[in-house]
A and B are shown apart, each in its own frame.
Chain A
């Protein structure tokens, strides 16, 4: 009964989405406020039904109702309760249901918190949101029904893929989806602006909180996925330039560019058309990510299952939405009025520079991700484009963005003085040079590492310089500076944190990639292993029983200069129901660095293959991502965004209904 209820709720949500996508537009056309207001109630009701549907599937999982095919294929009664919840989205159908749930949530939140947005803009944006939702409801109902029943229910389920039986599954997909799907709001805003044919600086003010929210979650989602891969896959990599990872990175880069260009639009009224295009592109890249991951053109842990009809359907959604919105853009964009003027050397100019390089870098990722697919479709040749390609293309294009980051916030709007800004950054540059020399003396060899560390230090010091300049630190009394710091707009703190985070992340990346030590050895009980100044001794192995697996573990004692620092216990879990095993790495954190141990095969004579890594500064990579998200949260809490734009005057509200000439 519960699954049928869920299925029915999903159909109702589709019906509401269809109403939401048409009625308000008729209202906009006729100038009928009552029809336009329908967008709000349908958006909220649609979310309610999507939530009922999601709750029904969750209930089926928690109760281990194996008569539901989806549950039978992906769950097991002995699985811990947390994983019963998380396995709802640990499969194709369920993850799509989570996708539409979040999509509906964004629509409902916008409907709820948009009293300050002009009626026509709000109605059109919600209608666009309705189209996207309707397309995905149709996709689920027609190709990926999570509520399908089995005629002969099995007594026991097939269990969830063991790699997914981890706390990571509880966190990574929801965060990532909030990010991916959140960009649908940027898309809906852009489409609404094009439909109405009028756009001004206030648009950016209304759209920016939604873009920021999506961006914060996407940042955290990608970082969490990276950390999960790092500790779960057992070979210590945190980014593989895998097409699925790229699929999430591309909307993130485009979204970052969008955040910056929306800033120009909000403050200066310039770059309007570009911002609209970027909003469309960002969500298009999200959709393309969904296509790459969900259609089965790629094989990966993320793809779950392959079914050609699904691929074709998502491709159709992709073509209709990307093609449709770009066509609308081509038709309506020339009608939008051009915005303010600015000199090349100015805050706007710096942000254009940022956009130019970010989008080009994004394009190289796009080529690297899709070229193998295109080549295979055309010539049949199978190739892989891996890390070397991206290091050669993405790397050089992202360095200018990093170097320019400290300059941007210090430059004045409209017309800036590069010389004066450079003088202010002298201290930061001096610190960078010191870092360069120190790193070079300490480790000698490759030039890349000292340069990278220097660049990271420059970015961090540059971000701090910005705060120091704004608060007048070192120039006024500390109390005055403190008072100014408290009064500083939160968005300034946000920018400082975000940029500082880039530097932190870069230092982590350089440390991990340039200085990591790797040892792969076969060890017997009693053997010792020296690794980057630490001594690991293999004390013994044992076996224990988990809820739905048996675990073979090895115990290592970690010493440094004879002093015992602790015990590490890497293990291998064997899941009988799936006939699979997973590697559980053991991590020991030392400052920002980590020791990493994972087990390979165990031979009959008791020899264990061990992978041991010392990863210097590796934690800075994820700390950087968290700092970035904190920066985003600061910006989001800025008064100007929280309160929103002032309610437009009646005259303006009327003008909003008519296309601009």
Chain B
């Protein structure tokens, strides 16, 4: 083979691998990405039940209801609309009423969401960014969300005594 033929072979091979990669990426992007919506957007966009998505907002105080076998239900609000989230499992350490959460799962019916994972913040200072943006959009953002929460911790310490 001449040098030119070799180079052609190499380039053709590279293009084939790159093409395969592009194909894989496009296929995966149509299938395995998950959109984030605030409760208002879920309603406005008429998202069909059965769609997989992420919903975020603040946990409405007083709406957390615990059931049997680790099932729990709570409302997530962006200040305008609220959506009921049902979840079975262990909530993250930083899950509190009035705090930001992001739930990933499936919309069962309009206004009701079944989550298979619930994420809270990484530490006490910061709101999940999507949630902060969603709240700002609804004019519900207060500057003090960025600051240290004053609520004493219930839950763990209370139960231990």
Q: Point out the residue from A300, A357, A609 that lies within 8 Å of B17, measured CB to CB.
A: A357
Cα distance, A345 to B151, chains bound together (Å)? 68
Nearest CB in chain B to that of A301: its residue:
B122
- CB under 8 Å from chain B, chain A span 580-629: 580-583, 600-604, 606, 609, 611
B61 interface residue per 8 A CB criterion: no
Do B149 and A579 touch across chains, with their CB atoms under 8 A apart? Answer: yes
Chain A to chain B: the 5 pairs with minimum beta-carbon distance, closest first = A600-B90, A388-B32, A382-B36, A392-B28, A602-B159
Chain A: minimal CB distance from B67 (Å):
11
- B37 neighbours in A (Cβ, 8 Å): 382
Do A572 and B93 touch across chains, with their CB atoms under 8 A apart? Answer: yes
Chain B: minimal CB distance from A348 (Å):
11
Do B124 and A360 touch across chains, with their CB atoms under 8 A apart? Answer: no
Do A299 and B122 touch across chains, with their CB atoms under 8 A apart? Answer: yes
Do A578 and B123 touch across chains, with their CB atoms under 8 A apart? Answer: yes
Q: Point out the residue from B28, B34, B128 that lies within 8 Å of A393, measured CB to CB.
A: B28
B69 interface residue per 8 A CB criterion: yes
Size of the B side of the interface (Cβ < 8 Å), in residues, is: 53
Size of the A side of the interface (Cβ < 8 Å), in residues, is: 58
Cα distance, A580 to B125, chains bound together (Å)? 10
- A298 neighbours in B (Cβ, 8 Å): 129
Q: Point out the residue from A299, A397, A604 that lies within 8 Å of B126, measured CB to CB.
A: A299
- B156 neighbours in A (Cβ, 8 Å): 552, 572, 574, 581, 601-602
**Would you give the 0/1 interface string for B59-75, flagging 1 where the beta carbon is closer than 8 Å to chain A?**
00000001001100000
Q: Of the 9-residue stretches A75-83, A212-220, A363-371, A498-506, which lies at the interface with chain B? A: A363-371
Cα distance, A301 to B124, chains bound together (Å)? 11
- B17 neighbours in A (Cβ, 8 Å): 356-357, 360, 397
Number of A-B contacts (CB under 8 A): 143
Cα distance, A521 to B70, chains bound together (Å)? 7
Cα distance, A649 to B130, chains bound together (Å)? 62
B142 interface residue per 8 A CB criterion: no
Q: Point out the residue from A371, A384, A543, A574 that lies within 8 Å of B153, measured CB to CB.
A: A574
Q: Point out the residue from B14, B35, B149 that lies within 8 Å of A356, measured CB to CB.
A: B14
Given contacts A389-B33, A393-B21, A574-B156, contact A580 B28 (CB under 8 A): no
Cα distance, A385 to B31, chains bound together (Å)? 10
Cα distance, A604 to B1, chains bound together (Å)? 79
Name, among A363, A371, A382, the residue most crowded by chain B CB atoms within 10 Å (CB to CB). Answer: A382
Do B34 and A600 touch across chains, with their CB atoms under 8 A apart? Answer: no
- CB under 8 Å from chain B, chain A span 514-548: 520-522, 541, 543
Do B21 and A363 touch across chains, with their CB atoms under 8 A apart? Answer: yes
- A360 neighbours in B (Cβ, 8 Å): 17-18, 20-21
Nearest CB in chain A to that of B153: its residue:
A579
**Would you give the 0/1 interface string for A545-556, flagging 1 where the beta carbon is closer than 8 Å to chain B?**
000001010000
Chain B: minimal CB distance from A347 (Å):
15
Given contacts A299-B128, A360-B21, contact A163 B122 (CB under 8 A): yes
Cα distance, A572 to B54, chains bound together (Å)? 28
Q: Of the 9-residue stretches B5-13, B77-85, B105-113, which lies at the interface with chain A? A: B5-13
Nearest CB in chain B to that of A542: its residue:
B160
A566 interface residue per 8 A CB criterion: no
Do A384 and B34 touch across chains, with their CB atoms under 8 A apart? Answer: yes
